[in-house]
Amino acid sequence: MNYVFKAEIFLLDKNYREAIENFKIWADLANKNNYKHLEQYCYENLANAYLKFNDCKSAFAYKEKFQQLKDTSDNLITKAKVAELQIQFETEKKEKLLAELVCSPKKQKEKSELLFCSLL
């Protein structure tokens, strides 16, 4: 049984001290293994457990850690979307330019024919 599952059970049973200990263990493991979403989840639950335990100072500290990870995650998602849109824009721009270049000789021929006909 993993620590998060145990911590959630302790939280439901209002055994906040045990919930806090288990969430701390798993938050530390998540941090060491770079599981940011799980670490974020643990920090949020730690903040809630400390709040229920009437330890507002610790609740605030873990809420700040949670928010910092959330903001980092949101920024990464936003940057990825911006990069994707930039690539899409550049691709469309290049395709349009290529289409103009491909059509250009045909337009030049039409202009030449029109000029030739007007000279007759």
Q: How confident is the model at residue 78 (pLDDT cuts 50, 70, 90)?
A: confident
Type of residue numbered 87? I
Instruction: Name the pTM for this structure.
Output: 0.64
Phi-psi region of 35 (alpha: psi -120 to 50; beta: other; left: phi over 0): beta
Q: What confidence tens digit (pLDDT) does each residue in 28-48 have? A: 999 999 999 899 999 999 999
H or E, element range at 17:
helix 16-32
| Architecture of the 3-84 domain | Alpha Horseshoe (1.25)
Of the pLDDT bands very low, low, confident and very high (cuts 50, 70, 90), residue 73 is confident
Domain boundaries, the chain: 3-84
At CA 31, angle to CA 30 and CA 34, rounded to 5?
80
What confidence tier does 120 reach under pLDDT thresholds 50, 70, 90?
low
Higher pLDDT: 25 or 100? It is 25
Q: How far is CA 66 from CA 12, 44, 61, 73, 82, in A?
A: 21, 6, 9, 11, 24
